[in-house]
Structure 1
Amino acid sequence: MGERAGRWVAGGLVLVLLALVGATAWVVIAGRDEVDEELTAAQQDVAGAARAEAVAFLTVDHRDMDPLIDAVLDGATGDFAEQYASQRETLTREAVRTEATSTPEVVSLGVGDQDDDTATVLVAANSTVTNTGTGAEGQVRYYRLRLELVREDGRWLTDDLRFVR
């Protein structure tokens, strides 16, 4: 499948997800590192924060997990930050045990239900994963995430992150 067809498929999956969560007035941003110029500044801010948190959350490198975990925690708050921080040892131990790496790429992102202090964002990301079970070539895994963000001290932080189908 070509890159263009892959983008259409990823975009279609995001649209299906949006319908499932009953969202209306979603703005879909396609592409890798581009933010749609038609988005408001507030939407661009929340999209950038969600993109960064999704990439941080999906990045794994068994050789040095501490800075990766710190990157997730830097963009997190509330219960999500507490729960993630409490799993630091387990995350590190499992990454080392399985010799895991994960290199993600956000392929599509939707911003919706945004007001001055809260926003919901859906992210479609693909990640090349290697571990003791995949071999050196690794496997591409497809992730769909729903992030709930809140504005604290002028920054958008992830308050909740869930995998969605």
Structure 2
Amino acid sequence: MFTLDDMWMFFLAFFLTLPIVTIVHELGHVLAARLFGAKIKFTLGTGKTLFKIGVIEVKRLYFMEGWCQYEELTFNTKWTHAIIYLAGSLFNLAAILIVNSLIYAGIFHVHIFFYQFVYFSVYFIFFSLFPFRTGDGRPSDGQAIYDVFKYGTSKDLLD
């Protein structure tokens, strides 16, 4: 049962854990894009810009979303685009396996933070790979992979 005593965990989950999961996901896209020689831009959140350091931009509503924009791939094939789109979910999966392994090994203790981290990571994997377009027409990673192989094109915006 959810009570007022649980509010601090709610805030922790949405203002710390979820942004960390978002960063892990987007880091997958960033590293894969860089591996294939792309120039990237990474944005965490939406709204007014709080600060910008190099290619990293953090917005006021940092907990809402994140995206990686890439261009000028050195290796520009359907497969490289698909790997870049898939890399976010692969990083989330790797993070789940690492966290669970560290708990199993006794390095991390069972804690609600890790439960939430894994829960949000699974959520990210599912909804990133589920093919759909957002209200403003942006493709999910799964939709972008589908578009790359069906139409031979991709958007350079990753969610």
* TM-score normalised by structure 2 residue count: 0.28
* More helix as a share of residues: 2
Q: Which structure's residues are more often strand, by fraction?
A: 1
Task: Tell me the TM-score normalized by structure 1.
Answer: 0.27
